A and B are shown apart, each in its own frame.
Chain A
Amino acid sequence: MQDRLHILEDLNMLYIRQMALSLEDTELQRKLDHEIRMREGACKLLAACSQREQALEATKSLLVCNSRILSYMGELQRRKEAQVLGKTGRRPSDSGPPAERSPCRGRVCISDLRIPLMWKDTEYFKNKGDLHRWAVFLLLQLGEHIQDTEMILVDRTLTDISFQSNVLFTEAGPDFELRLELYGACVEEEGALAGAPKRLATKLSSSLGRSSGRRVRASLESAGGSGSSPILLPTPAVGGPRYHLLAHTTLTLAAVQDGFRTHDLTLTSHEENPAWLPLYGSVCCRLVAQPLCMTQPTASGTLRVQQAGELQDWARVHGVLKGTNLFCYRQPEDADTGEEPLFTIAINKETRVRAGELDHAAGQPFTLSISNRYGEDEVTHTLQTESRGALHSWMEALWQLFFDMSQWKQCCDEIMKIETPAPRKPPQVLAKQGSLYHEMAIEPLDDIAAVTDILAQREGTRLETPPPWLAMFTEQPALPTPCSPASVAPAPARTHPMPWGRPRTFSLDAVPPDHSPGASRSVAPLPQQPSPRSRGLFSKGPSRTWLQSPV
């Protein structure tokens, strides 16, 4: 029986390879080959595993490889179909009416994933026997790309499942659908299958053999898209650990925000399932998107700008359209060397752009004007391009930018920061992670300070007084000295737990508040060195300072 399954799988692989070769799609082919090899390695590793935890890791790798192979296969099929039907996907340059505008691609990153758990009292207080443990991981799919998080071991001392991974997808469109699936497996051997009568076992394996082919075909059809079927193809139980789909959800552009948000999870397993975990029903994460139009220049060239001022001279500048700004540099080299532009014209959803002759600019051809309104005033910049062709391409770039802004919506307000995903740490043995439950004392008094105290102790002290000598460099009154009671003192190490009421879990919207009792908010922030210019990907996000400079 196992042999039949193996042959079927090998045939599948062969078929896949042939198709990839015939399409001459080298990139996809390379990815497929890589996954097939990884899969073979994972199979061998699984066979050689002796420890349950190693087997869990190997099974996870195997499952991820399988799902990637299926997804790439689905993509290959689609491309092959398109090729056969004559649609190459590339727009011929001089054909009929202009093709529909398509929005720019973007990078989508999901990080700080946290899934709260809700243990029942009975589970928590059960002290007999060993700790029941689970291995969980998340699978994320966007388009045909599949990524997984690290595997985490969970037991009843954890209040949340927190994943450290940052997952980045690079080729997303504004209509992306990011499917998130939580898989879990028991760390202990599943008693059910091991104790099944022999007849039942053979029946199970034989029926799997017949239906696996059907399942493969079904998965092929739905692979690549998000569909309603789970991303993973369940492997026939070969004695290795079995992962079950515990919950899933799909996130779209509406969920993107430069901050933490909580989303609902659809729970899919029941209590009878051995891998069932008491999930609270939400997932908290930070989902950001960086459209390419915000981080890459979309147009550049020589412009002559009419100065709004005393002399209505035309200044010759090198304009670079990037994100929601048109930067005008003195010379083209300035854009690369990091020089400050001469000035910047904002381009946002409310900006109005017009091409053509303007009343007062009679005789000046190839002009366009950009108007911004702020408060009651309107400022219009008039720009002259070098030729009709240049005017056309500037207008085209601006229309594309407006289209992208309308599609990517909130992602174009400001550049959202994406951190490069750190290299994955090797899976750790479950250390006893501190849990809020253990640290709580159940007392009648309600004291918010006690909760923040515990959080502060866990995070370590991050509160600092600005040194008094800094006052010399500011025009403000001297800061309160460290001796004064108004200054911030580091959280004292309390040896006795403060009494307070009902046990509290982490707020679902994360990031422990930075409570600084006594921090004087009335003092204006200190002037700093000119901050490094935020270019490209690593923008600082909304500024919290209001600098003052003497001139």
Chain B
Amino acid sequence: MLLQGHQLRDGCVQPGQQRVEIHKLRQGENLILGFSIGGGIDQDPSQNPFSEDKTDKGIYVTRVSEGGPAEIAGLQIGDKIMQVNGWDMTMVTHDQARKRLTKRSEEVVRLLVTRQSLQKAVQQSMLS
């Protein structure tokens, strides 16, 4: 049987996507990343200010703390998080997403994100 579409594998970052590696910062008992997320399949996507498609139930970065680990790693507000350490983040509830990012056993998280400015640049370069 043929495999239709394509499967996302390591090393095969699609155009318009970005890898961001964040090293968590220890603050007392907690390991923090320094950003906030919004979205999830159990949330109302029409209230997402960052998405182009208002039915998109993905996880978006809604705030990045100044000088925090996320900002240092290059994460930007409005980024959509596709994967965290290989785990899919496009079909998860809000709480599941939060838990995936805040695992105590992980000191480093590798995110795969899409950024609208990047996507638009790719689209434009494809058209020209």
Contact = CB atoms under 8 A, between A and B. Distances in A.
B111 to A, nearest CB: 11
Contacts of B41: 346
Contacts of A340: 95-96, 99
A358 B5 contact: no
Interface in B27-76: 32-33, 35-45, 47-48, 53, 56, 58, 62-63
Nearest to B17: A377
B56 A375 contact: yes
B13 interface: no
Contacts of A310: 10, 85-86, 110
A550 B35 contact: yes
Given A340-B95, A475-B63, A545 B3 contact: no
Interface residues of A, number: 44
Contacts, number: 117
Nearest to B89: A343
B127 interface: no
Interface stretch (A185-193, A330-338, A366-374): A366-374
A360 to B, nearest CB: 8
A456 B81 CA distance: 43
A309 B86 contact: yes
Given A307-B87, A309-B86, A375-B53, A546 B9 contact: no
Contacts of B101: 551
A308 B9 CA distance: 6
B36 A371 contact: no
Nearest to A525: B47
Contacts of A352: 4
B107 interface: no
Contacts of B82: 377
A360 B9 CA distance: 12
Given A546-B38, A546-B48, A551-B37, A358 B3 contact: yes
Contacts of A543: 42-44
A344 to B, nearest CB: 6
Given A374-B91, A475-B36, A549 B56 contact: no
Nearest to A369: B3
A309 B35 contact: no
Contacts of A344: 91-93, 96
Given A344-B96, A547-B38, A309 B63 contact: no
Contacts of A547: 38, 40, 43, 94
A354 B1 contact: yes
Interface residues of B, number: 48
Contacts of A359: 3
A422 B93 CA distance: 32
A352 B4 CA distance: 10
Given A545-B44, A548-B38, A343 B92 contact: yes
A542 interface: yes
A431 interface: no
Contact of A343 (B4, B32, B33, B87): B87
Pick the most buried of B10, B39, B90, B94: most chain A CB atoms within 10 A of its CB. Answer: B94
A17 to B, nearest CB: 53
Interface string A346-368: 10000010111111100000000
A550 B88 contact: no
Interface in B1-30: 1, 3-10, 14
B115 interface: no
B102 interface: yes
Pick the most buried of A374, A524, A547: most chain B CB atoms within 10 A of its CB. Answer: A547
A477 interface: no
A429 interface: no
Contacts of B58: 374
Contacts of B37: 548-549, 551
B116 interface: no
A550 B36 contact: yes
Given A356-B1, A359-B3, A530 B36 contact: no
B85 A309 contact: yes
Contacts of A548: 36-38, 62-63
Given A309-B83, A546-B47, A550-B35, A371 B4 contact: yes
Interface of B: 1, 3-10, 14, 32-33, 35-45, 47-48, 53, 56, 58, 62-63, 82-83, 85-88, 90-96, 98-99, 101-102, 110
17 contacts: A307-B87, A308-B8, A308-B86, A309-B10, A312-B9, A340-B99, A345-B91, A346-B41, A355-B1, A372-B91, A374-B56, A375-B53, A379-B90, A543-B43, A543-B44, A551-B32, A551-B98
Given A345-B91, A374-B90, A546-B39, 5 more contacts: A309-B10, A344-B96, A373-B5, A547-B94, A550-B36
